[in-house]
Amino acid sequence: MVDLKDRVIQGYIKSLVGEDGLKMIEGMPEGEVTDEQIAEKTGILLNTVRRALFILYQNKLTVCRRERDSNSGWLTYLWHLDFSGIEQQLSREKRRLTRNLNTRLDFEENNLFYVCPQGCVRLLFDEATETEFLCPMCGEDLTHYDNSNFVNVLKKRIESLNTT
């Protein structure tokens, strides 16, 4: 069973289904249940429950089984949580995040930036030359922006992801 109190798992689930979705998962009854039963038990709106279940299903964190009522012909969807693949999901997410951070680090390290002292814009060197080093928003003179602190933050974040 997955520890829903784990910060990483909570953060991942929140990124998928939001705070209400996390509350839904924490209050969800054991076994196979309908979306209506989940909404009733957790006090979360039925549409929010359905949305969260669908997102979790897309990410292979729930299993859904359909049953047809023989009298009415209506379909009933029975749901249960299946976090058996969450470690693979987290690993995939970590690789995606690391790749994006490396792309951003490369961009930050290989470009010169100019900013408006009023905080209007941050422009690449080529863009700044096109505006003759004047802010296109307010007309102030642009100044060189030292992004070394941001580069260091990116490097530390990448390093922390690679060590966990």
The reported pTM is 0.71
Q: Which residues of 20-44 are buried (b: 16+ CB within 10 A; e: fewer)?
A: bbbbbbeebeeeebebeebbeebeb
For 81-91, the pLDDT digits (tens) are 999 989 999 99
For 46-64, the pLDDT digits (tens) are 999 999 999 999 999 999 9
- The span from the CA of 7 to the CA of 14, in Å, is 10
CA atoms within 13 A on the CB side of 26: 17
Question: What is the chain's alpha carbon radius of gyration, rounded to the nearest angstrom?
Answer: 24
Together in a domain, 99 and 72: no
Domain that holds residue 56: 7-84
Together in a domain, 72 and 126: no
Answer with the one of 50, 84, 118 that is the final residue of a domain: 84
Answer with the one of 24, 53, 84 that is the final residue of a domain: 84
Together in a domain, 78 and 12: yes
Statement: residue 29 has pLDDT above 90: no
Q: Residue 8's pLDDT band (boundaries 50, 70, 90)?
A: confident
Copy the structure tokens of residue 15. Answer: 């990124």
Together in a domain, 107 and 150: yes
